[in-house]
């Protein structure tokens, strides 16, 4: 779809702001929808939730969550209570909002009042939540998380044992889900996957019957045994590859383009950027583009990453600055690129995962680092 077609009349003033912007981030909401459908299609019996923490991995939870509710998603996970409070008015009554990190002590009443469901990660959190339920004479909904191996969040084995010995601690609770989280799901042959599966299954068997959830995006691709009743994909919805050893089964969602601000011809030996970390090996042409680490283009991409003009790769030379990056454009024919032209940083030529590999990180960090200075465009259908 063309840019003009994607913008409604009411967006016109923002379109002008877009003209002035140094860089544009385009979020293809139709691709998010399609990715949700593809994930759901892989889950024979299980429901498909959506993890929309960290502002839907940087893409805009206020846009993404209602759209997925429209696709039939009813279960939304965030990390913090404040993220849930911000989304609550945007989602209908039929949708549940779960807080993965649990509630800060003292925030229980506010969460209950707003209809937000905590993930209980310890016996202390469980007791605080059931105490509120007793005071309010309500059966409060909750998710119980078990630590199946990654030593991060959830009841460790000793706490589970104490709970099994004192099952009345769960009394009065509406146990909506028992969950755990996989540490190595992106490595299908890692022994931790089946170990965590076994620990989780055994833990659930010692608790009252409740729906169960284990799989994140990559976990969905580990097979039916990992699906249980609810899957919790995040990154795959946003186009990240949940199967890093194979072709990406998801549709790309983000496109990032930046404007060329200046070009210059360098002589052999000329230095580029802070620290003079790059020296021209011979005559070359460089272009400076209008985005930098303040926009989330990681500094580790200094002398490492690249942009694209069509199919031609334009390597980053020198350090990534706060607001600009310098590219080696010598491969381009004379006149192919002038000030005001745009180059692609994320999109058809370069995926989020490819940039992550160049930066020595994971696609999650590239997405959640995406800055707020970009002119953002949302395309849907």
Ligand X SMILES: *Cc1c(COP(=O)(O)O)cnc(C)c1O
Catalytic positions: 53, 274
**CB 364, min distance to ligand X, A:** 6
Counting Cα atoms < 13 Å in the Cβ hemisphere of 162 gives: 11
Which residues between 65 and 104 bind ligand X (CB under 6 A)? 100
Per CB under 6 A, the segment of 131-139, 232-240, 253-261, 287-295 that binds ligand X is 232-240
**CB 142, min distance to ligand X, A:** 15
Per CB under 6 A, the segment of 38-46, 226-234, 266-274, 334-342 that binds ligand X is 226-234
Q: Is 256 exposed, middle or buried (0-12, 13-18, 19+ CB in 10 A)?
A: buried
Those residues whose C-beta lies under 8 Å from the C-beta of residue 158, and which sit 6 or more positions away, are none
Distance of CA 196 to the CA centre of its chain: 23
Distance CA 138, CA 130 (A): 9
Residue 235 sits in the site that holds ligand X (CB under 6 A): yes
Residue 217 sits in the site that holds ligand X (CB under 6 A): yes
Residue 231 sits in the site that holds ligand X (CB under 6 A): no
Per CB under 6 A, the segment of 24-32, 229-237, 307-315, 328-336 that binds ligand X is 229-237
b/e 324-351 (16+ beta carbons within 10 angstroms → b) = bbbbbbbebeeeebeeeebbbbbbebbb
Q: Which residue, chain included where needed, has tokens 């913008």? A: 7
**What is the torsional sign of CA 227, 233, 237, 241?**
negative
Instruction: Using CB under 6 A, count the residues that bind ligand X.
Output: 12
Distance CA 83, CA 230 (A): 21
**CB 233, min distance to ligand X, A:** 5
Distance CA 216, CA 155 (A): 19
* Cβ-proximal residue to ligand X, closest one: 234
Of the pair 101, 201, the CB lying nearest ligand X is at: 101
Query: Which of 149, 234, 252, 273 lies at the binding interface for ligand X (CB under 6 A)?
Result: 234
Of the pair 232, 306, the CB lying nearest ligand X is at: 232
Of the pair 326, 368, the CB lying nearest ligand X is at: 368
Query: Which of 33, 176, 181, 259 lies at the binding interface for ligand X (CB under 6 A)?
Result: 181
Distance CA 330, CA 84 (A): 49
Query: Which of 233, 239, 273, 296 lies at the binding interface for ligand X (CB under 6 A)?
Result: 233
Closest of 44, 47, 92 to residue 69, by C-alpha: 92
Residues that bind ligand X (CB under 6 A): 51, 53, 100, 181, 216-218, 232-236
């Amino acid at each position: 779809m063309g840019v003009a077609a994607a913008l409604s009349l009411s967006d016109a003033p923002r379109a002008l702001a877009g003209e002035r912007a140094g860089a544009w981030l385009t979020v293809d909401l139709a691709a998010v929808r399609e990715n949700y459908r593809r994930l759901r299609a892989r889950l024979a019996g299980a429901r498909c939730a959506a993890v929309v923490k960290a502002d839907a991995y940087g893409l805009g939870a206020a846009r993404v969550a209602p759209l997925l509710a429209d696709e039939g998603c009813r279960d939304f996970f965030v990390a913090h209570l404040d993220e849930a409070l911000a989304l609550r008015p945007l989602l209908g009554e039929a949708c549940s909002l779960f807080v993965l990190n649990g509630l800060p002590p003292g925030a229980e009443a506010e969460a209950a009042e707003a209809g937000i469901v905590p993930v209980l990660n310890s016996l202390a959190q469980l007791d605080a939540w059931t105490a509120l339920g007793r005071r309010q004479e309500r059966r409060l909904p909750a998710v119980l998380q078990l630590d199946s191996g990654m030593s991060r969040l959830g009841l460790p084995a000793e706490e589970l044992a104490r709970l099994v010995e004192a099952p009345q601690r769960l009394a009065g609770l509406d146990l909506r889900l028992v969950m755990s989280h996989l540490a190595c799901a992106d490595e299908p042959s890692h022994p931790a996957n089946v170990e965590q599966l076994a620990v989780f299954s055994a833990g659930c068997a010692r608790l009252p019957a409740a729906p169960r959830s284990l799989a994140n995006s990559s976990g969905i691709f580990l097979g039916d045994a990992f699906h249980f009743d609810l899957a919790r994909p995040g990154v795959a919805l946003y186009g990240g590859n949940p199967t890093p050893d194979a072709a990406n089964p998801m549709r790309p969602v983000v496109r990032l383009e930046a404007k060329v601000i200046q070009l210059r011809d360098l002589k052999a030996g000329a230095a580029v950027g802070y620290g003079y970390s790059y020296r021209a090996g011979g005559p070359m042409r460089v272009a400076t583009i209008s985005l930098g680490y303040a926009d989330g283009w990681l500094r580790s991409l200094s002398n490492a990453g690249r942009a694209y003009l069509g199919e031609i790769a334009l390597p980053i030379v020198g350090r990534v600055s706060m607001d600009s990056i310098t590219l080696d454009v010598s491969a381009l024919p004379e006149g192919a690129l002038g000030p005001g032209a745009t180059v692609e940083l994320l999109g058809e030529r370069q995926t989020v995962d490819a940039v992550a590999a160049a930066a020595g990180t994971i696609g999650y960090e590239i997405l959640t680092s995406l800055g707020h200075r970009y002119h953002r465009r949302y395309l849907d259908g």
